[in-house]
Amino acid sequence: MRVNDRIPRIKLTVTNDSSITRNKELISNGLPLPQHLRVRDTAKLALFSESGAYVPAQFQALSWWPDGSLKWVLISFVADVSADETRIFWLDLNSSGSTTDQFIASVAKSGDICVDTGKLGFSVSRSCRSLFDDLKLKTEAGWIRLDTYNGFIGSKVTVDSQQLDIGSAKEIMIDDNGSERAVICFTGYYESSSGQASNLMYIIRITVHRDSSAVRVLHTIRNLGSAIELKGLEFLIPLQANHIKVYHDNHLIEKYCAASNEGSFGVLHDSPDEYYHGNLAKQDAKTSGQFAGWATVETESGWALSAAVRHFWEKYPKSLELGQTGFSLGLLPTSSRTFDSFLPGNQVKHSYALRQGESRTHEFMLYFHTPNPDGGQLPSVMNQCHAPLLALAPWDWYAESGALGDLSCQNFKRYPEYEHAIELDFQALMKKRAEHRLYGDRNFGDDSYRRLGSWNNCEYDYPHVGMLMFLRGGGRKWYDLFALPAARHMIDIDFITAGSEQGMVYQHDNDFDPDVLGHSSAGSGKLGSHAWVQGLFEYYAFSGDYTARDAALIVADRWAELTWEQYQKVALGQVPAARMYSTERQWGWTNLALMGAYHVIPKEEYLKSAAALVDIALELQNQDGLFTGFFERNGFAGMLMGSPIIDSLVLYYQATGDERVREMIVRAGRAFSEYGWIDPPGAWAYHAAHRDYKASSDRNLAPAVAYAYYYSDTKEQDKVLWERAVKGFTRSWHETSSAGKGLTQGHRFAVRMLALMDKIERQD
Sign of the dihedral defined by the CA atoms of residues 704, 586, 406, 7, in that order: negative
Query: What pLDDT is attached to residue 151?
Result: 65
For the sheet with 105-107, list strands across it.
105-107, 113-116, 120-124, 133-139, 142-145
Q: Which of 204, 186, 246, 198 is nearest to 223 (CA)?
A: 198
For residue 169, being part of any structural domain is answered with yes
Query: What pLDDT is attached to residue 3?
Result: 34
Cβ neighbours of residue 391 closer than 8 Å, sequence gap 6 or more:
12, 13, 14, 27, 29, 31, 75, 77, 89
The arithmetic mean of pLDDT across residues 62-75, rounded, is: 96
Cβ neighbours of residue 323 closer than 8 Å, sequence gap 6 or more:
258, 263, 264, 265
Same domain (yes/no): 212, 329: yes
CA pair distance 361, 219, nearest whole angstrom: 5
Same domain (yes/no): 83, 201: no
- Out of 329, 356, 386, pick the residue that ends a domain: 386
Q: Kindly tell me the number of DSSP H helices and DSSP E strands found in the chain.
A: 16, 36
Q: Is the pLDDT of residue 751 over 70?
A: yes
Confidence at 517, pLDDT banded by 50, 70, 90: low
For residue 159, being part of any structural domain is answered with yes
Same domain (yes/no): 310, 373: yes
For residue 308, being part of any structural domain is answered with yes
Same domain (yes/no): 229, 167: yes
Q: At what angle do helices 740-747 and 462-469 cross, to 10 degrees?
A: 60
CA pair distance 455, 449, nearest whole angstrom: 5
- Out of 324, 357, 386, pick the residue that ends a domain: 386
Conformational region of residue 326, where left means phi above 0, alpha means psi within -120 to 50, and beta covers everything else: left
Q: Is the pLDDT of residue 115 over 90?
A: yes
Q: Is the pLDDT of residue 428 over 50?
A: yes
Query: What pLDDT is attached to residue 4?
Result: 40
Q: Mean pLDDT, the chain, as a whole number?
A: 91
Cβ neighbours of residue 259 closer than 8 Å, sequence gap 6 or more:
none
DSSP 8-state code for residue 693: B
Give residue 77's domain range: 9-92
Same domain (yes/no): 133, 40: no
User: Is 77 exposed, middle or buried (CB count within 10 Å of its CB: 0-12, 13-18, 19+)?
Assistant: buried
Q: At what angle do helices 740-747 and 695-711 cross, to 10 degrees?
A: 20
User: Is 761 exposed, middle or buried (CB count within 10 Å of its CB: 0-12, 13-18, 19+)?
Assistant: exposed
Query: What pLDDT is attached to residue 508?
Result: 73
For residue 151, being part of any structural domain is answered with yes
* Cβ atoms within 10 Å, residue 395: 18
Confidence at 97, pLDDT banded by 50, 70, 90: low
For residue 601, being part of any structural domain is answered with no
DSSP 8-state code for residue 658: -
CA atoms within 13 A on the CB side of 320: 29
Same domain (yes/no): 232, 130: yes
Q: How far is it between the farthest Cα atoms of the chain?
A: 85
Q: Which residue has the higher pLDDT, 12 or 1?
A: 12
Query: What pLDDT is attached to residue 58?
Result: 97
CATH number of residue 81's parent domain? 2.60.40.1180
Q: Is the pLDDT of residue 12 over 60?
A: yes
Q: pTM of the predicted model, to two decimals? A: 0.96
Query: What pLDDT is attached to residue 5?
Result: 44
For residue 221, being part of any structural domain is answered with yes
Same domain (yes/no): 216, 287: yes
CA pair distance 283, 261, nearest whole angstrom: 16
Query: What pLDDT is attached to residue 680?
Result: 81
Query: What's the start-to-end Cα distance of the chain, in Å?
Result: 42
Q: pLDDT tens digit string along 164-213?
A: 999 989 999 999 999 999 999 999 999 998 999 999 999 999 999 999 99
Three-state SS string over 423-459 comes to HHHHHHHHHHHHHCCCCCCCCECECECCCCCCECCCC
Same domain (yes/no): 226, 161: yes
Same domain (yes/no): 217, 80: no
* Cβ atoms within 10 Å, residue 257: 10
Same domain (yes/no): 288, 191: yes
Confidence at 455, pLDDT banded by 50, 70, 90: confident
Q: Is the pLDDT of residue 290 over 80?
A: yes
Q: pLDDT tens digit string along 467-489?
A: 999 999 999 999 999 999 999 99
Query: What pLDDT is attached to residue 635?
Result: 62
Cβ neighbours of residue 48 closer than 8 Å, sequence gap 6 or more:
54, 55, 89, 90, 91, 92
For residue 743, being part of any structural domain is answered with no
Question: Where are the extended beta strands (E) located within 486-562?
Answer: none
Cβ neighbours of residue 160 closer than 8 Å, sequence gap 6 or more:
229, 231
CATH number of residue 327's parent domain? 2.70.98
The residues with which 172 forms a beta bridge, in sequence order, are: 186
CA pair distance 497, 548, nearest whole angstrom: 12
* Dihedral over alpha carbons 675, 676, 677, 678 (to 10 degrees): 140
Q: Is the pLDDT of residue 691 over 90?
A: no
* Cβ atoms within 10 Å, residue 236: 21
Confidence at 520, pLDDT banded by 50, 70, 90: low
CA pair distance 486, 490, nearest whole angstrom: 6
- Out of 386, 413, 432, pick the residue that ends a domain: 386
For residue 656, being part of any structural domain is answered with no
Confidence at 439, pLDDT banded by 50, 70, 90: very high
Confidence at 689, pLDDT banded by 50, 70, 90: low
Query: What pLDDT is attached to residue 1?
Result: 31
Q: Which of 519, 610, 513, 514 is nearest to 556 (CA)?
A: 610
- Among 46-60, 255-269, 306-320, 541-555, the range scoring the smallest mean pLDDT is 255-269
Same domain (yes/no): 191, 254: yes
Q: How many domains does the chain divide into?
A: 2
Same domain (yes/no): 133, 52: no
